[in-house]
């Protein structure tokens, strides 16, 4: 994990970021929402604010806030890091 990636993960809160694309609800220590990456009818995506990670239990997409930005904008990880850090 590079310094830039660490910085971006601090700068972009994962719950706040994913909330722009789907409604998240807190349940126990995780947030749950409908996955924006497949046609989700019930909340299949879990967000772990402590670890800064997300995972969809239906389509399997998972990662950190940088992966989320990369997937939602259809960029690769390297390009989205360049975009976000500028
Ligand atoms: Zn999904």
**What average pLDDT does range 55-60 have in this prediction?**
98
State in Å: Cα 47 to ligand 1 middle: 12
Per-residue pLDDT for 58 more than 80? yes
pLDDT tier at 42 (50, 70, 90 boundaries)? very high
pLDDT tier at 57 (50, 70, 90 boundaries)? very high
Supply the mean pLDDT for the chain. Answer: 97
Q: Which domain holds residue 57?
A: 3-85
State in Å: Cα 10 to ligand 1 middle: 24
> How confident is the model at residue 86, as a pLDDT?
87
Number of domains in the chain: 1
- Separation CA 41–CA 1 (nearest Å): 34
Q: Which helix (H) or strand (E) holds 15?
A: helix 14-19
State in Å: Cα 15 to ligand 1 middle: 16
State in Å: Cα 4 to ligand 1 middle: 27
- Separation CA 72–CA 65 (nearest Å): 10
CATH number of the domain where residue 40 is located: 3.90.580.10
- The model's pLDDT over 10-41, given as tens digits with 9 standing for 90+, comes to 999 999 999 999 999 999 999 999 999 999 99
- Separation CA 33–CA 18 (nearest Å): 9
State in Å: Cα 66 to ligand 1 middle: 17
């Amino acid at each position: 994990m590079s310094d830039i990636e660490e910085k971006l993960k601090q700068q972009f809160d994962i719950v706040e970021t994913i909330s722009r694309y789907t409604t998240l609800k807190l349940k126990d220590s995780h947030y749950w929402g409908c996955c924006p990456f497949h046609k989700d009818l019930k909340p299949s995506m879990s967000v772990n604010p402590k670890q800064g990670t997300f995972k969809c239990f239906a389509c399997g997409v998972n990662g950190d806030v940088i992966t989320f930005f990369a997937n939602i904008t259809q960029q690769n990880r390297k390009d989205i890091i360049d975009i976000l850090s500028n």
